[in-house]
Amino acid sequence: MKLNEIIKVLEQFAPLQLQESYDNAGLITGNPEMEIKAAMLTLDSTEEVIDEAIANNCNLIIAHHPIVFNGLKKINGKNYVERTIIKAIKNDIAIYAAHTNLDNVRTGVNKIIADKLGLINTKILSPKKNLLKKLYTFVPGEHAEVVRNALFSAGAGHIGNYSECSFNAEGFGTFNAGEGTNPHVGSHGIRHREEEMKVEVILPLWNEKQIVKALIDSHPYEEVAYDIVQLDNFYQDVGAGLIGELPVAFDEINFLQHIQLTMQTPMIRHTNFLNKKITRVAVCGGAGSFLLNDAINSGAQAFITADYKYHQFFDAEGKVLICDIGHYESEQFTPLIFAQLLNEYLPTFATLFSKTNSNPIKYFH
Protein backbone atom coordinates (compact mmCIF):
# COMPACT_ATOMS: atom_id res chain seq x y z
CA MET A 1 0.00 0.00 0.00
CA LYS A 2 1.42 3.39 -1.01
CA LEU A 3 1.59 5.95 1.78
CA ASN A 4 -0.29 8.54 -0.30
CA GLU A 5 -3.32 6.21 -0.58
CA ILE A 6 -3.46 6.00 3.23
CA ILE A 7 -3.02 9.77 3.58
CA LYS A 8 -5.85 10.33 1.10
CA VAL A 9 -8.26 8.36 3.31
CA LEU A 10 -7.17 10.26 6.42
CA GLU A 11 -7.39 13.67 4.75
CA GLN A 12 -10.75 13.05 3.15
CA PHE A 13 -12.01 12.65 6.70
CA ALA A 14 -9.92 15.40 8.33
CA PRO A 15 -8.62 17.82 5.64
CA LEU A 16 -5.36 19.54 6.57
CA GLN A 17 -6.96 22.90 5.80
CA LEU A 18 -9.01 22.45 8.98
CA GLN A 19 -5.98 22.54 11.27
CA GLU A 20 -5.39 25.61 13.43
CA SER A 21 -2.76 28.12 12.28
CA TYR A 22 -0.33 27.12 15.08
CA ASP A 23 -0.52 23.42 14.25
CA ASN A 24 1.79 21.09 12.30
CA ALA A 25 -0.49 18.24 11.22
CA GLY A 26 0.33 16.16 8.14
CA LEU A 27 3.23 14.00 7.01
CA ILE A 28 6.17 14.65 9.34
CA THR A 29 8.67 12.02 8.12
CA GLY A 30 8.54 9.74 5.10
CA ASN A 31 7.81 10.01 1.41
CA PRO A 32 4.24 9.81 0.06
CA GLU A 33 5.43 7.33 -2.58
CA MET A 34 6.87 4.83 -0.09
CA GLU A 35 5.35 1.38 0.27
CA ILE A 36 3.74 0.83 3.68
CA LYS A 37 3.70 -2.63 5.27
CA ALA A 38 1.52 -1.85 8.28
CA ALA A 39 0.59 1.14 10.42
CA MET A 40 0.88 1.62 14.16
CA LEU A 41 -1.87 3.82 15.65
CA THR A 42 -1.09 5.98 18.66
CA LEU A 43 -1.84 9.23 20.46
CA ASP A 44 1.86 10.27 20.56
CA SER A 45 4.73 9.17 18.33
CA THR A 46 7.43 9.00 21.01
CA GLU A 47 10.79 7.17 20.84
CA GLU A 48 9.20 4.22 22.59
CA VAL A 49 6.46 4.03 19.97
CA ILE A 50 9.07 4.10 17.17
CA ASP A 51 10.79 1.11 18.85
CA GLU A 52 7.45 -0.64 19.11
CA ALA A 53 6.76 0.01 15.42
CA ILE A 54 10.17 -1.41 14.44
CA ALA A 55 9.57 -4.52 16.57
CA ASN A 56 6.17 -5.04 14.96
CA ASN A 57 7.27 -4.43 11.36
CA CYS A 58 5.19 -1.27 10.99
CA ASN A 59 6.79 1.45 8.83
CA LEU A 60 4.07 4.03 9.39
CA ILE A 61 2.98 5.64 12.64
CA ILE A 62 -0.32 7.50 12.63
CA ALA A 63 -0.52 9.79 15.64
CA HIS A 64 -2.82 12.49 16.95
CA HIS A 65 -0.12 14.83 18.31
CA PRO A 66 2.55 16.00 15.84
CA ILE A 67 5.94 15.10 17.34
CA VAL A 68 7.45 18.16 15.61
CA PHE A 69 5.37 21.11 16.70
CA ASN A 70 7.54 24.21 17.06
CA GLY A 71 10.03 23.49 14.26
CA LEU A 72 13.55 22.09 14.43
CA LYS A 73 16.67 24.17 13.83
CA LYS A 74 19.22 21.48 14.64
CA ILE A 75 18.84 17.72 14.64
CA ASN A 76 21.56 16.34 16.90
CA GLY A 77 19.53 14.29 19.34
CA LYS A 78 19.67 16.62 22.35
CA ASN A 79 15.98 16.16 23.18
CA TYR A 80 13.30 13.50 22.75
CA VAL A 81 11.77 15.21 19.69
CA GLU A 82 15.07 15.21 17.78
CA ARG A 83 15.89 11.65 18.89
CA THR A 84 12.47 10.44 17.73
CA ILE A 85 12.89 12.05 14.31
CA ILE A 86 16.44 10.66 13.92
CA LYS A 87 15.23 7.18 14.86
CA ALA A 88 12.25 7.37 12.49
CA ILE A 89 14.37 8.51 9.53
CA LYS A 90 17.19 6.01 10.20
CA ASN A 91 14.62 3.21 10.25
CA ASP A 92 12.60 4.43 7.25
CA ILE A 93 9.52 5.03 9.35
CA ALA A 94 6.90 7.51 8.19
CA ILE A 95 5.14 9.58 10.85
CA TYR A 96 1.79 11.16 10.06
CA ALA A 97 -0.23 13.32 12.48
CA ALA A 98 -3.90 14.32 12.34
CA HIS A 99 -4.19 16.88 15.12
CA THR A 100 -6.44 19.97 15.28
CA ASN A 101 -7.91 19.03 11.88
CA LEU A 102 -9.18 15.87 13.60
CA ASP A 103 -10.37 17.90 16.60
CA ASN A 104 -12.36 20.18 14.32
CA VAL A 105 -14.45 17.61 12.44
CA ARG A 106 -17.83 16.73 13.92
CA THR A 107 -17.11 12.99 13.90
CA GLY A 108 -13.50 13.32 15.14
CA VAL A 109 -11.79 13.39 18.55
CA ASN A 110 -14.75 14.80 20.48
CA LYS A 111 -17.26 12.39 18.95
CA ILE A 112 -15.33 9.46 20.43
CA ILE A 113 -15.51 11.13 23.87
CA ALA A 114 -19.23 11.82 23.40
CA ASP A 115 -19.83 8.20 22.36
CA LYS A 116 -17.93 6.88 25.39
CA LEU A 117 -20.08 9.07 27.66
CA GLY A 118 -23.24 8.04 25.84
CA LEU A 119 -24.13 11.56 24.62
CA ILE A 120 -26.78 11.83 21.92
CA ASN A 121 -27.84 14.64 19.54
CA THR A 122 -24.28 15.96 19.40
CA LYS A 123 -23.44 19.23 17.67
CA ILE A 124 -20.29 21.31 17.27
CA LEU A 125 -19.96 23.60 20.29
CA SER A 126 -18.16 26.43 18.48
CA PRO A 127 -18.62 26.17 14.69
CA LYS A 128 -16.09 27.86 12.42
CA LYS A 129 -16.54 30.61 9.84
CA ASN A 130 -14.83 31.30 6.52
CA LEU A 131 -14.82 27.68 5.36
CA LEU A 132 -17.65 27.91 2.84
CA LYS A 133 -17.88 29.45 -0.61
CA LYS A 134 -20.66 29.82 -3.14
CA LEU A 135 -20.15 28.93 -6.76
CA TYR A 136 -22.41 30.45 -9.42
CA THR A 137 -22.20 29.18 -12.97
CA PHE A 138 -24.19 29.89 -16.11
CA VAL A 139 -24.88 26.99 -18.44
CA PRO A 140 -27.23 26.25 -21.37
CA GLY A 141 -30.39 24.61 -19.95
CA GLU A 142 -29.88 21.24 -21.65
CA HIS A 143 -26.38 20.95 -20.09
CA ALA A 144 -27.35 21.99 -16.58
CA GLU A 145 -27.94 18.47 -15.27
CA VAL A 146 -24.53 17.24 -16.47
CA VAL A 147 -22.79 20.21 -14.80
CA ARG A 148 -24.80 19.80 -11.55
CA ASN A 149 -23.90 16.10 -11.40
CA ALA A 150 -20.22 16.86 -11.91
CA LEU A 151 -20.28 19.52 -9.17
CA PHE A 152 -22.05 17.20 -6.72
CA SER A 153 -19.66 14.31 -7.33
CA ALA A 154 -16.68 16.62 -6.81
CA GLY A 155 -18.00 17.55 -3.32
CA ALA A 156 -20.24 20.60 -3.82
CA GLY A 157 -23.81 20.97 -2.52
CA HIS A 158 -23.56 19.51 1.01
CA ILE A 159 -25.55 21.21 3.79
CA GLY A 160 -25.67 19.20 7.04
CA ASN A 161 -26.96 15.74 6.16
CA TYR A 162 -28.37 16.96 2.85
CA SER A 163 -26.46 16.40 -0.37
CA GLU A 164 -27.01 17.50 -3.99
CA CYS A 165 -28.26 20.94 -2.83
CA SER A 166 -28.41 23.60 -5.56
CA PHE A 167 -30.50 26.57 -6.62
CA ASN A 168 -31.36 27.05 -10.30
CA ALA A 169 -32.85 30.00 -12.11
CA GLU A 170 -33.58 30.43 -15.80
CA GLY A 171 -32.43 33.50 -17.70
CA PHE A 172 -30.41 34.39 -20.73
CA GLY A 173 -26.80 35.22 -21.32
CA THR A 174 -25.13 37.17 -24.10
CA PHE A 175 -21.70 37.01 -25.66
CA ASN A 176 -19.85 38.09 -28.76
CA ALA A 177 -17.24 35.56 -29.87
CA GLY A 178 -14.01 37.33 -30.84
CA GLU A 179 -11.20 36.31 -33.16
CA GLY A 180 -9.59 32.95 -32.53
CA THR A 181 -12.51 31.59 -30.52
CA ASN A 182 -14.45 28.42 -31.13
CA PRO A 183 -17.88 29.08 -29.56
CA HIS A 184 -20.16 26.19 -28.58
CA VAL A 185 -23.12 28.15 -30.06
CA GLY A 186 -23.44 31.40 -32.05
CA SER A 187 -21.23 32.99 -34.70
CA HIS A 188 -18.11 35.17 -34.64
CA GLY A 189 -18.56 38.91 -34.41
CA ILE A 190 -22.32 38.88 -33.69
CA ARG A 191 -23.81 39.28 -30.23
CA HIS A 192 -25.39 35.94 -29.36
CA ARG A 193 -28.25 35.44 -26.89
CA GLU A 194 -28.50 32.03 -25.24
CA GLU A 195 -31.12 30.67 -22.83
CA GLU A 196 -29.07 29.68 -19.77
CA MET A 197 -29.52 28.30 -16.31
CA LYS A 198 -27.81 29.95 -13.33
CA VAL A 199 -26.72 27.10 -11.04
CA GLU A 200 -25.68 27.90 -7.44
CA VAL A 201 -23.94 25.44 -5.15
CA ILE A 202 -22.19 25.72 -1.80
CA LEU A 203 -18.70 24.27 -1.41
CA PRO A 204 -16.14 23.76 1.36
CA LEU A 205 -12.92 25.57 0.51
CA TRP A 206 -10.73 22.45 0.75
CA ASN A 207 -12.59 20.95 -2.24
CA GLU A 208 -12.51 24.12 -4.33
CA LYS A 209 -9.80 23.04 -6.80
CA GLN A 210 -11.43 19.73 -7.66
CA ILE A 211 -14.88 21.34 -7.92
CA VAL A 212 -13.67 24.04 -10.33
CA LYS A 213 -11.93 21.36 -12.39
CA ALA A 214 -15.16 19.32 -12.50
CA LEU A 215 -17.05 22.45 -13.59
CA ILE A 216 -14.64 23.27 -16.40
CA ASP A 217 -14.46 19.63 -17.57
CA SER A 218 -18.25 19.22 -17.67
CA HIS A 219 -19.26 22.67 -19.02
CA PRO A 220 -19.79 22.94 -22.80
CA TYR A 221 -18.43 26.49 -23.17
CA GLU A 222 -14.88 27.28 -24.22
CA GLU A 223 -14.77 30.08 -21.62
CA VAL A 224 -16.74 28.91 -18.62
CA ALA A 225 -18.60 31.72 -16.86
CA TYR A 226 -18.52 31.27 -13.07
CA ASP A 227 -18.15 33.29 -9.88
CA ILE A 228 -16.86 32.10 -6.53
CA VAL A 229 -17.81 34.11 -3.47
CA GLN A 230 -16.57 33.69 0.11
CA LEU A 231 -19.47 33.22 2.57
CA ASP A 232 -19.75 34.54 6.10
CA ASN A 233 -21.85 31.57 7.25
CA PHE A 234 -20.80 29.33 10.11
CA TYR A 235 -20.03 25.78 9.01
CA GLN A 236 -21.97 23.67 11.51
CA ASP A 237 -19.95 20.51 10.78
CA VAL A 238 -16.56 21.98 11.63
CA GLY A 239 -15.29 23.63 14.80
CA ALA A 240 -14.18 23.15 18.38
CA GLY A 241 -15.81 20.97 21.03
CA LEU A 242 -19.15 19.17 21.01
CA ILE A 243 -22.37 19.59 22.94
CA GLY A 244 -24.70 16.66 23.52
CA GLU A 245 -27.39 15.25 25.78
CA LEU A 246 -27.46 12.37 28.21
CA PRO A 247 -30.41 10.01 27.65
CA VAL A 248 -30.94 9.95 31.42
CA ALA A 249 -30.22 12.71 33.93
CA PHE A 250 -27.35 12.11 36.38
CA ASP A 251 -26.78 13.75 39.71
CA GLU A 252 -23.28 15.21 39.98
CA ILE A 253 -21.61 12.45 42.03
CA ASN A 254 -22.99 9.77 39.73
CA PHE A 255 -21.92 11.77 36.72
CA LEU A 256 -18.32 11.97 37.95
CA GLN A 257 -18.37 8.22 38.57
CA HIS A 258 -19.75 7.75 35.07
CA ILE A 259 -16.87 9.81 33.61
CA GLN A 260 -14.30 7.92 35.68
CA LEU A 261 -15.58 4.61 34.42
CA THR A 262 -16.18 5.43 30.76
CA MET A 263 -13.11 7.65 30.23
CA GLN A 264 -10.83 5.47 32.40
CA THR A 265 -9.45 8.44 34.24
CA PRO A 266 -7.76 8.01 37.65
CA MET A 267 -8.53 11.58 38.72
CA ILE A 268 -11.03 14.31 37.90
CA ARG A 269 -10.33 17.90 38.99
CA HIS A 270 -13.67 19.68 39.16
CA THR A 271 -15.38 22.86 40.38
CA ASN A 272 -18.08 23.13 43.06
CA PHE A 273 -21.21 21.11 42.62
CA LEU A 274 -24.19 23.16 41.41
CA ASN A 275 -26.79 20.81 42.89
CA LYS A 276 -28.29 20.41 39.44
CA LYS A 277 -29.12 17.33 37.42
CA ILE A 278 -26.73 16.82 34.51
CA THR A 279 -28.48 16.41 31.16
CA ARG A 280 -26.43 18.56 28.76
CA VAL A 281 -22.70 18.06 28.51
CA ALA A 282 -20.02 19.94 26.57
CA VAL A 283 -16.78 18.13 25.74
CA CYS A 284 -13.42 19.09 24.27
CA GLY A 285 -10.50 16.66 24.11
CA GLY A 286 -7.19 18.16 25.25
CA ALA A 287 -6.86 21.80 26.29
CA GLY A 288 -10.39 23.22 25.99
CA SER A 289 -10.62 26.06 28.54
CA PHE A 290 -11.09 28.56 25.68
CA LEU A 291 -14.56 27.03 25.15
CA LEU A 292 -15.91 27.74 28.65
CA ASN A 293 -18.30 30.51 27.56
CA ASP A 294 -19.55 28.42 24.63
CA ALA A 295 -20.20 25.58 27.06
CA ILE A 296 -22.13 27.89 29.44
CA ASN A 297 -24.10 29.53 26.60
CA SER A 298 -25.04 26.16 25.17
CA GLY A 299 -26.85 25.34 28.41
CA ALA A 300 -24.43 22.59 29.47
CA GLN A 301 -24.44 21.73 33.17
CA ALA A 302 -21.02 20.05 32.80
CA PHE A 303 -17.94 20.77 30.68
CA ILE A 304 -15.44 17.96 30.27
CA THR A 305 -11.98 18.88 29.05
CA ALA A 306 -8.33 18.98 30.21
CA ASP A 307 -5.31 21.18 30.98
CA TYR A 308 -7.28 23.59 33.19
CA LYS A 309 -5.15 25.99 35.24
CA TYR A 310 -5.90 27.04 38.85
CA HIS A 311 -7.23 30.52 38.03
CA GLN A 312 -9.33 29.27 35.14
CA PHE A 313 -11.42 27.12 37.50
CA PHE A 314 -12.75 30.34 39.08
CA ASP A 315 -14.31 31.27 35.73
CA ALA A 316 -16.99 28.60 36.18
CA GLU A 317 -18.79 31.19 38.40
CA GLY A 318 -21.28 28.58 39.59
CA LYS A 319 -22.69 28.27 36.06
CA VAL A 320 -21.17 24.99 34.97
CA LEU A 321 -19.37 22.00 36.47
CA ILE A 322 -15.87 22.03 34.95
CA CYS A 323 -14.38 18.53 34.88
CA ASP A 324 -10.68 18.30 34.02
CA ILE A 325 -10.16 14.62 33.28
CA GLY A 326 -6.52 14.81 32.03
CA HIS A 327 -5.22 15.45 28.52
CA TYR A 328 -4.11 11.89 27.79
CA GLU A 329 -7.27 10.43 29.31
CA SER A 330 -9.53 12.69 27.23
CA GLU A 331 -7.85 11.75 23.95
CA GLN A 332 -6.70 8.19 24.59
CA PHE A 333 -9.40 6.66 22.35
CA THR A 334 -8.50 8.84 19.35
CA PRO A 335 -6.53 6.05 17.57
CA LEU A 336 -9.88 4.23 17.23
CA ILE A 337 -10.82 6.82 14.59
CA PHE A 338 -7.75 5.93 12.49
CA ALA A 339 -8.57 2.22 12.80
CA GLN A 340 -12.22 2.68 11.84
CA LEU A 341 -11.34 4.81 8.82
CA LEU A 342 -8.63 2.52 7.48
CA ASN A 343 -10.69 -0.63 8.11
CA GLU A 344 -13.58 0.91 6.22
CA TYR A 345 -11.72 2.31 3.20
CA LEU A 346 -8.65 0.04 3.02
CA PRO A 347 -9.95 -3.22 4.53
CA THR A 348 -6.92 -5.32 3.53
CA PHE A 349 -4.41 -2.91 5.10
CA ALA A 350 -2.95 -3.97 8.47
CA THR A 351 -3.20 -1.63 11.47
CA LEU A 352 -1.99 -2.19 15.01
CA PHE A 353 -2.73 -0.19 18.16
CA SER A 354 0.38 0.88 20.06
CA LYS A 355 0.53 -0.66 23.54
CA THR A 356 2.73 2.15 24.84
CA ASN A 357 1.10 4.38 27.43
CA SER A 358 2.55 7.70 26.29
CA ASN A 359 1.03 9.75 29.13
CA PRO A 360 3.92 11.74 30.63
CA ILE A 361 1.81 12.45 33.75
CA LYS A 362 1.74 9.87 36.55
CA TYR A 363 -0.57 9.99 39.58
CA PHE A 364 0.45 9.33 43.18
CA HIS A 365 -2.54 8.29 45.27
Binding site for Zn ion (CB under 5 A): 286, 331
- In this structure, is the dihedral angle defined by the CA atoms of residues 35, 37, 43 and 46, taken in order, positive or negative? negative
Judged by beta carbon, residue 82 or residue 307, the one nearer Zn ion is 307
Assign 31 to helix, strand or coil: coil
Judged by beta carbon, residue 324 or residue 331, the one nearer Zn ion is 331
Judged by beta carbon, residue 194 or residue 331, the one nearer Zn ion is 331
Closest approach of Zn ion to the CB of residue 306, in Å? 8
Closest approach of Zn ion to the CB of residue 19, in Å? 13
Closest approach of Zn ion to the CB of residue 275, in Å? 32
Judged by beta carbon, residue 20 or residue 223, the one nearer Zn ion is 20
Rounded to the nearest 5°, which phi and psi values hold at 86? -60, -45
Rounded distance, CA 231 to CA 229, Å? Answer: 6
93 CB neighbour count, 10 Å cutoff:
22
Rounded distance, CA 30 to CA 131, Å? Answer: 29
DSSP 228: E
Closest approach of Zn ion to the CB of residue 99, in Å? 7
Residues 6 or more apart whose Cβ sits within 8 Å of residue 21: none
Closest approach of Zn ion to the CB of residue 267, in Å? 17
Closest approach of Zn ion to the CB of residue 330, in Å? 8
**Ramachandran region, residue 93 (left: φ > 0; alpha: ψ -120 to 50; beta: rest):** beta
Assign 294 to helix, strand or coil: helix
Rounded distance, CA 120 to CA 160, Å? Answer: 17
Burial class (CB in 10 A: 0-12, 13-18, 19+), 170: exposed
The 3-state secondary structure of 61-79 reads EEEEECCCCCCCCCCCCCC
Question: In the bound complex, which residue of the shown chain has the CB atom lying closest to Zn ion?
Answer: 286
Rounded distance, CA 7 to CA 96, Å? Answer: 8
Judged by beta carbon, residue 108 or residue 286, the one nearer Zn ion is 286
Judged by beta carbon, residue 200 or residue 307, the one nearer Zn ion is 307
- For 244, the enclosing helix (H) or strand (E) is strand 234-250
Residue type at 78 in one-letter notation: K
Strand pairing category for 60-65 and 94-97: parallel
Rounded to the nearest 10°, the torsion over CA 237, 289, 282, 302 is -170
Judged by beta carbon, residue 39 or residue 109, the one nearer Zn ion is 109
Closest approach of Zn ion to the CB of residue 287, in Å? 7
Closest approach of Zn ion to the CB of residue 100, in Å? 9
Closest approach of Zn ion to the CB of residue 148, in Å? 41
